[in-house]
Amino acid sequence: MIADNIFILTGAGISAESGLATFRDADGLWEGYPVMEVASIQAYDRNPARVLEFYNLRRAQQLNAKPNRAHVALAQLEAHWRAHGGSVTICTQNVDSLHEQAGSTRVIHMHGEINKARCHDCGDVTLADGDLSPALGCAACGRIGGMRPHIVWFGETPLEMDAIYDALATADLFVSIGTSGAVYPAAGFVSAVRRAGAPTMEMNLEPSENAEAFDLARYGKAGDVVPEWVTDMIKLSALR
Ligand code: BJW
């Protein structure tokens, strides 16, 4: 294998060609909402109905979205690598389920999942693919009004950080796809892997904010560059 354990970080750009808006492509407006007014716990505490309405809109869009060529190619890479004794771990900042729909099985959702709700009081997480409202009650503790999207907002701790750091520690190739490199801790993963000596590469429409931290880059739409890269990787692995 050219790299036994591949760690792939994905961001909103990989889902853009599935029709889902990226986070920073409209002057800081996201589906017309100022970002900090919908993606922080302060915004939720100030006006829970508004934040729930924003996530209800996005949940409805995401339920109809289908994986694109980039998601499918990554699932093919994982299957090929697994069959040859390697591993491909996808750590996604996205809250959609397009990697899973495409067939990827090792997916970490560090910023949560939009089709789940979490009780603000007892922390219970449940599947919730319909609208959330302040009138909903928690099935576990019974409290009304505390059901929020299972999403990591600014100022909150990302999920599964131990699993992420474990996978980063054993990675011998780090690949970042469709993320602006503007949000931490995800934007810092590349530097950690590089310090440990593994090669790093980004695929994006344009150089990301931390582009200088990568050894290699392929620029273009994810639906074009990711399948090309996967084809190259599978060919290269056959030569070894
Ligand atoms: C294409 C394409 C195509 C388009 N093909 N490409 C000062 C300095 C450093 C850090 C901080 C600071 N002040 C505060 C912080 C921390 C803060 C932070 O990073 N703030 C920054 C704004 C500076 N971070 C946090 O608060 C995080 N928590 C934290 O740090 O806790 C402490 C802790 C750390 C470690 C261990 C333990 C504790 C939490 C961050 C939560 C982020 N949440 C959001 C919203 C929730 C998810 C949702 O609702 O969907 O997550 S914000 C938003 O940004 C969303 C995304 O997941 C995330 C990243 O965005 P992403 O994916 O990169 O999207 P875009 O739009 O930015 O970029 C898209 C890219 O795609 C672009 O480059 C395009 O060119 C490209 N593209 N079309 C290929 N077709």
Cβ of 219 closer than 6 Å to ligand 1, yes or no, is: no
Among 71, 111, 120, 150, the active-site one is 111
pLDDT in tens, 4-51: 999 999 999 999 999 998 887 766 566 677 777 788 899 999 999 989
Nearest atom within ligand 1 for CA of residue 222: 5
Structure tokens of 18?
């599935």
CA of 11 to the centre of ligand 1 (A): 8
pLDDT band at 130 (very low <50, low <70, confident <90, very high): very high
Regarding the beta carbon of 18 and ligand 1, being less than 6 Å apart is answered no
pLDDT digits (tens, 9 = 90+) for 57-67: 889 989 899 99
* 25 C-alpha to ligand 1 centroid (Å): 13
pLDDT in tens, 63-110: 899 999 999 999 999 999 999 999 999 999 999 999 999 999 999 999
**pLDDT tens digits, residue range 210-240?**
999 999 999 999 999 999 999 999 999 987 6
**C-alpha 184 – ligand 1 centre gap (Å):** 6
Q: Which atom of ligand 1 is nearest to the CA of 17?
A: 80
Quick check: CB of 72 below 6 Å from ligand 1?
Answer: no
Specify the pLDDT at position 154: 92
**Residue 81 phi, psi (nearest 5):** -65, -40
- Across the range 153-168, mean pLDDT stands at 97
CA-nearest residue for atom 4, ligand 1, is: 13
Q: Does residue 217 line the site of ligand 1, with CB under 6 A?
A: no
Residue nearest ligand 1's atom 43 by CA: 153
Would the CB of 57 count as within 6 Å of ligand 1? no
Q: Report the C-alpha gap between 85 and 181 in whole angstroms.
A: 31
User: Cβ(15) to ligand 1 under 6 A?
Assistant: no
* 80 catalytic residue (yes or no): no
Residue 150 pLDDT > 80: yes
